[in-house]
Chain A
Amino acid sequence: MTSLNLNQAGRRRGRWFAQVGWRHLVAVLAVLFSLFPIVFVVSAALNPLGTLSTTELVPTGGVSLDNVGGLFERTAFGRWFLNSLLIAGLAAFASVFLSALAAYAFSRMRFRGRRVGLLSLLLVQMFPQFLAIVAIYLIFGTITDLWPSIGFNTPWGLLLLYLGGALGVNTWLMKGFFDTLPRELDESATMDGASHAQVFFRIMLPLVAPILAVAGLLAFIGTINEFLMANVFLTSSDSKTLAVGMYGLLEGNERNNNFGIFAAGTLLTAIPTVLVFQFLQRYIVSGLTSGAVKG
């Protein structure tokens, strides 16, 4: 009797594992993989000694916030943070707007050169802008001479440069979003006397707003992480972005000593993006797939 019960229980547990248990096992392993570098960075940020060589996976030598203080005292971190927010915020907003404009034309209008335009956008996008960094450097040398306020070491010059890549990245995605909206919507609005601009601003944009927000967020994160061009562009300490400034923290002999404040900076950089990310996650899944998949 008891042995039968045990047997049944064992079989039930086996079936539970085959149907649900393995899923938890995979998920837990994946979470461990996802988290351990982040835990390491947190531990480094809290490590009172602030060096790489004394940092363990979990803080063992006590916990302190010295690194955060050191970050603001010894570096222009606040300034870098503001620069990054300014550049990435404006670039994300402008690039989403510019590519939404273009996507509207590609999705709703038929004109000569439409196919060529779409294909050449795809082609231009494949030539990464930073391969042309030498040419960009020479061109912006001239611009700095003529208009110093949009030249090197200014956020505006870098912003202009990022806007050059705006159309290539998002237009295809956005066109996918617009294509999923039924044409009858804007056709009936047109019949009611709406101009093309009214159709765009009053009907199309509000309908895709959540997805625009996601595209904007992705553009924002992409810009925050852009390193190569910002590194060539911004050399004075006050104009640096987070990526350039924090890379400088770990350069040369300071790599070991600055690791604590670097980790503190990483966490402070991550807080806003992680929060927004978790908040928008539902839209991100649909945003990433609906544009590309249904496209």
Chain B
Amino acid sequence: MSTPLSGPGSATQAPGREPAGSPPPRSRATRDHAPITLTGLAGKVLLLGLTAGVAVWAAFPLVAAEMWVGLALLVASTAGLFYLYLTRRHVPAKYLVPGTLFLIAFQVIPVLYTASTAFTNFGDGHRGSKDDAIVAIESSSVTQVPGSAEYALTIATTGDPATGALVFLVTDPGTGAVSVGDSDGLRRLDSADVTVATGGRVTAAAGYTVLNIGQASSRSKEITDLVVPTPGGALRSSGLSRAYEGKAVRAYDAACDCVRDAETGRTWTADDEAGAFVAADGERLAQGWKVNAGLTNFTRVLTDKNVSGPFLSTLIWNFAFAIGSTGGTFLLGMLIAVALHSARMRGTNLYRVLLVLPYAMPSFAMLLAWRDMFNADFGLINNLFGLDVDWFGQAWTARFAVILVQLWLGYPYMFLVATGALQAIPRELTEATSVDGASPWQSFRAVTLPLLLVALSPLLISSFAFNFNNFNAIYLTTDGAPFPADNPTNGATDLLITYTYRLAFGGQGAQLGFAAGISVFIFAIVAVVSAVGFRRTRKQEEVYA
């Protein structure tokens, strides 16, 4: 099983037999000649076999979709893994690569992708290329004109009837030929693949699931919005069973790089900086395209009056929230830890079991429970104290409420770590101060507190970083409320992260580029604060060890 010994100094030789005074063998040769054990070999074969199996499984869809770049990446990384675990070299990499692969695929790449969108105007109405925008403008302006061709329409999908992408199956009333149409255009279907009922309705088609009336009417909004471009204009639905081929009223004119409305004669000229067609009076067409916005997403935070004011107050509140939550939980947790840290104290175990319960409860559910405890109409807080406060309706009560909730959720953790740190402080230190005549308070101030702070500052910094982006704490309680009357996107308790989330996914239309820009801001702030903090702690020294 073992590899041949390679002379004196080999790792398999018992240390006792070494010449006296010779340095212990710890060169790379030591590791290289360690014996290969049966379990090690079996584990290696099993894991590499599994890797190969996963790679083959993953390769087929890539081949089918003709994604050769993805396939090349897959082959290269699989080959790299095999090389790494079959060679005896690169020992550190053997331990680092598994986690790093996941880190790169699901964290680094999305983060870089996000950072790159921060320099674009990506978002609703600015998703695709200019050509996509022109097609969308032209086909959405299709209206029924006298003499438009009419077809029998059947709604179908290639996926699940409730969620799959919709297609139109249209039957030409003259020839009876059936075509399938989606937003890419119209294709003829082989008549052998479809079953057509009298009246032109398609009842079955190979590869498609036909929606029944109930399924179709529940998705009528999507059906109305589906436009199938055709050479002469576009196909739209008229109800659930008829479709017409209409003419596009608006058309793109390459000569003036503009869109012209044939009925009104109005023109919208392409603005390549804004990624939109703009009329002379400033009116924009909703369908634009994605362009590089340069730094505008970042400068907008500073210059745009509608954004910078709320942004600044959100930033200040964000800091106040993070400092308040971290500091508050630390102070409370430490106070209780100090109170329970006494040899004469009885029942500490019972107290501790009850105290840490909030930490063990599922926090998402407790956040929702707290939200309803602050309910203005029939919440517990108002009932219990006989108050009549609309907690989430006013800025300051809402802020007080979310910090109180954070205090409740967070202080058991601080209590636990402070207890641990207190137990690590040698008793001699505090005893020495009392011998010297210091009061308990003086000894706490001069000895215990500084030692606690040194020990816990790394945890305080990471707690700050966590609370700075504590999405759940706001989203599951106030969801940013109360909102000022003139600004529905930025409420009084919004953190930057919930504000960003609303920009990206809220009802006002997705502003993904701008949201990504704010994400980069948040990252910069947290990174700077943490870097400054860590520089002051021993944790940073450890890096250079």
By a beta-carbon cutoff of 8 Å, the part of chain A in contact with chain B is 19-20, 22-24, 26-27, 30-31, 33-35, 37-38, 40-41, 44, 52-53, 55-57, 98-99, 101-102, 104-105, 109, 111, 114-115, 117-119, 122-124, 126-136, 138-139, 145-147, 160-161, 163-168, 171-172, 176, 179, 187-188, 190-198, 200, 221, 224-225, 227-228, 242-243, 246-247, 250, 255-256, 259, 262-263, 265-266, 269-270, 273-274, 277-278, 281, 284-286, 288-290, 292-293, 295
Contact = CB atoms under 8 A, between A and B. Distances in A.
Given A34-B412, A98-B99, A132 B362 contact: no
Interface string B340-354: 101011010001111
B12 interface: yes
B50 interface: no
B40 A197 contact: yes
B82 interface: no
Interface in B281-299: none
* Residue of A105, A126, A145, A274 contacting most chain B CB atoms (<10 Å): A126
Task: Pick the most buried of A23, A31, A259, A263: most chain B CB atoms within 10 A of its CB.
Answer: A23
Given A41-B366, A115-B543, A164-B102, 15 more contacts: A26-B336, A37-B373, A56-B380, A102-B100, A114-B92, A127-B111, A127-B523, A131-B469, A187-B26, A191-B15, A250-B368, A262-B369, A274-B360, A277-B359, A278-B353
A136 B61 contact: no
Contacts of A266: 361-362, 365-366, 369
Contact of A132 (B35, B111, B347, B380): B111
B91 interface: yes
A161 B102 CA distance: 8
Given A53-B378, A191-B15, A163 B102 contact: yes
B401 interface: no
Interface centre among B335, B360, B465 (most CB of A within 10 A): B360
A242 B35 contact: no
Given A131-B519, A164-B107, A179-B542, A52 B378 contact: yes
Contacts of A290: 420
B40 A224 contact: no
Given A119-B543, A126-B523, A191-B25, A37 B408 contact: yes
B61 A101 contact: no
A169 B419 CA distance: 23
A34 B37 CA distance: 53
A33 B412 CA distance: 11
A227 B370 contact: no
Contacts, number: 317
B500 interface: yes
A195 B352 CA distance: 44
Most buried by A among B99, B336, B359: B99
Given A190-B26, A191-B24, A266-B369, A293 B361 contact: no
B239 to A, nearest CB: 29
B102 A98 contact: yes
Interface string B18-60: 0000001110001100111100100000000000000000100
B523 A281 contact: no
Interface in B75-133: 91-92, 95-96, 98-100, 102-103, 105-111, 113-114, 117
A131 B500 contact: yes
A124 B107 contact: yes
A289 B417 contact: yes
Given A167-B102, A284-B416, A37 B26 contact: no
Interface of B: 11-15, 24-26, 30-31, 34-37, 40, 58, 61-62, 65, 67, 91-92, 95-96, 98-100, 102-103, 105-111, 113-114, 117, 332, 335-336, 339-340, 342, 344-345, 347, 351-366, 368-370, 372-373, 375, 377-380, 383-384, 408, 412-413, 416-417, 419-421, 423-424, 455-456, 458-459, 465, 469, 471-472, 475-476, 497, 500-501, 504, 512, 515-516, 519, 522-523, 526-527, 530, 534, 538-539, 542-544
Contacts of A55: 380
B110 A247 contact: no
A273 B366 CA distance: 14
| Interface of A (DSSP majority class) | helix
A167 B99 contact: yes
B539 A133 contact: no
A246 B504 CA distance: 24
Given A98-B99, A192-B15, A274-B361, A135 B421 contact: no
B408 A34 contact: yes
Contacts of A197: 40
Nearest to B369: A41
B1 to A, nearest CB: 12
Contacts of A33: 408
A221 B356 CA distance: 14
B542 A161 contact: no
Contacts of A135: 109-111, 113-114, 117
B96 A129 contact: no
A34 B354 CA distance: 7
B538 A109 contact: no
24 contacts: A22-B339, A30-B336, A34-B358, A37-B366, A57-B384, A102-B95, A102-B99, A105-B92, A114-B92, A124-B103, A127-B111, A132-B111, A139-B109, A163-B106, A193-B12, A193-B13, A195-B40, A227-B471, A265-B365, A266-B361, A266-B365, A281-B353, A285-B419, A285-B423
A126 B91 contact: no
Contact of A274 (B61, B95, B357, B408): B357
B36 to A, nearest CB: 8
B448 to A, nearest CB: 15
A196 B172 CA distance: 73
B377 A57 contact: no
Nearest to A56: B383
A161 B106 contact: yes
A111 B109 CA distance: 25
B352 A281 contact: yes
Contacts of A139: 109-110, 113
Contact of B459 (A44, A132, A292): A292
B539 A295 contact: yes
9 closest pairs, A vs B, by CB? A164-B106, A195-B34, A289-B420, A132-B110, A135-B113, A53-B378, A105-B95, A98-B99, A277-B360
A121 to B, nearest CB: 8
B345 A20 contact: yes
Contacts of B107: 124, 127, 129, 132, 164-165, 168
Contacts of B340: 23, 27
B63 to A, nearest CB: 10
Nearest to B33: A193
A34 B352 CA distance: 11
Given A23-B339, A98-B99, A40 B92 contact: no
A172 B99 CA distance: 13
Given A57-B384, A228-B472, A190 B11 contact: yes
Contacts of A145: 65
Contacts of B12: 193
Nearest to B384: A57
